[in-house]
Structure 1
Amino acid sequence: MASNSETLVTVFGGSGFLGRNAIRALAKREYRIRVAVRRPELAGHLQPLGRVGQIHAVQANLRYPASVEAAMRGAQVAINLVGILAEGGAQSFDAVQARGAETIAKAAAAVGGQMVHVSAIGADENSPSGYGRSKAAGEKAVLAALPAATILRPSLMFGPDDQFTNRFAALARILPALPLIGGGATRMQPAYVGDVATAVAEVVDGNAKPGAIYELGGPEVLTMREIMEVILKITERRRMLISLPFGLAKFKAQFLQFAPGALKLTPDQVEMLRTDNVVSDEAKAAGLTLEGLGIAPDSMAAIAPQYLWRFRAAGQFQRKSA
């Protein structure tokens, strides 16, 4: 039986939040990993995740097919983790999440490789957001170029260094109240990034259905209001939760899209919150979920306290009430 060390996996976008966790999961399974990123000189933090020489970064940009083809030479598997939450310059939703995904799929097909494409539960060609429409276009292009590709659609992911729970915990530290866009009624099924990373590795191991679309969500379905309440409880902060109608939120986002850090909010992100982000009944019935891959998902309440403690008034030294 061939060892995984004989398999070269090219991970596009491996230096990001999910990328770091996916590379750790692949390294533990002894795969050789080529990380394809725009700035390989900034990807040195990935090498300690594996053995000496196991992880190597190369330059690639999805807008330049030749660089993608070079990154796939000699590889047996392509993993696409590239995604953006806001557009900027040449990095548009269409260029990165639609045409970019297609470029990777064509490069993988040209070398007879396998492909794992990470999309999002919000992928929908009729989505009110450009993000959701581009994700749907990317899925369609990937399956057209490589019908055996496996697509993973995670819900909102949480974990250390995420842009989700950490963002709202940071806002709770500086604001007297937190906004609930659309009243906070939008339902989410937050997935722990470690579970999604394990799902990526399971697909590479050959434990998923070729050509299938998996929807990855955590064990709980929560409204945005309930998620805010969990974050406030963990960080031990009391903040008002104020309902913000979609129309007003979109108007404010016209200005907040230029704000720094946790304050940034784009009109497209407001549109994304109009739709629930949960695993469908069809995916559950077909076993196309984390559980279907043999993964018991962790909840936000179980994982988030391990890293959100730093947002408490006295950090890890915060006194507990009797």
Structure 2
Amino acid sequence: MNHDKNPKTVINLSIIIPCYNVEDYIEQCLISIIKQDFLPKEILCIDDGATDSTAKIIKVLALNHPCIKYVYQKNQGVSEARNTGLSLASAKYIQFVDPDDILHCDILKKFFICYEKNRDIELFYFEHECFENDKSIDYSYYQHDDYFISFKSGNELFTYLIKKKKYPGACWKYIFMKDILNLNFVGKNHEDHLITLDILTSANLSYYYKTPLYFYRKRDNSLSNKKNINKNYVSLFSQVVIQCSNYLKFKNLSNYTKQQYIKFLRLDYLFNIDIYYLETQKPTILNAYTHIYTRLFIKNKLKTISNIWYIICYGKKNNVPIKHIMILLQVALNKDINFITNKINAMLE
């Protein structure tokens, strides 16, 4: 960490912000960073081909705040914008921030406190709070003592989060040492699940701060909105579930931790399907497939004979055509989650 001649302390941190048509939010986001008592070494604003006034707003702020750096690239999506930021980042630590969100006024101070406790820190994980698009944030409500929990490894932190049912996913919930990241961002949706897994399971000394230090803006066009959850979106998430499940197989985590995390992802997959059909009737056959998916791969009913009998009875009771009963019986025999996932995705209308 380096100290400027001015009263503010400069932290060896690169903040990366992917920016695309966020003229209504980017100024508030940047101000929430530059007004802090502790400043990052650099704020890399990656303009991903924005067509509104995003670039102009960033450049105006950069005139008086040299830590703000504007970078333009042709539109390639949020993953490539973050990858560009990573390739340009010159600091020891990295933080990803979404351009419509806001940082707590003391987040960098909290990180610096942990750094001063032990300069071997590799991961600083914190909670977040959602806020409505038109609402202001009362920071005084979130003023708490400096209560940190330290962990010898990210694996221990990961296990703690799972036990507390605080499932990690978003890449903006932590500050991390750049050298521990082994992957690049891929895809336009759900792109940070695997990145977060890699960072958590690669980190050594980690700190957890239980108070929200990041404020996530709930917008009308967020991904939880029905109009943005399409067949491709759900299908992509199903692939993320498989990728993360395969990634965890070789990690030094308890079976309980792995199972609970994978269960969370699978439930989230089904939740996205429910959101997709929020305004229309979900097909009866699709209900049958998701019901059996839940029994076999979320509730983990393992007895084959019991599952076969259950599927036959369920199919008869719910008038499931015989050809679909035979497919579901095949799933029960082979325990092939990829097979039933592909069948479910193909049914989405």
Would you call these one fold, judging by a TM-score over 0.5?
A: no
Normalising by structure 2, report the TM-score.
0.29
Normalising by structure 1, report the TM-score.
0.31
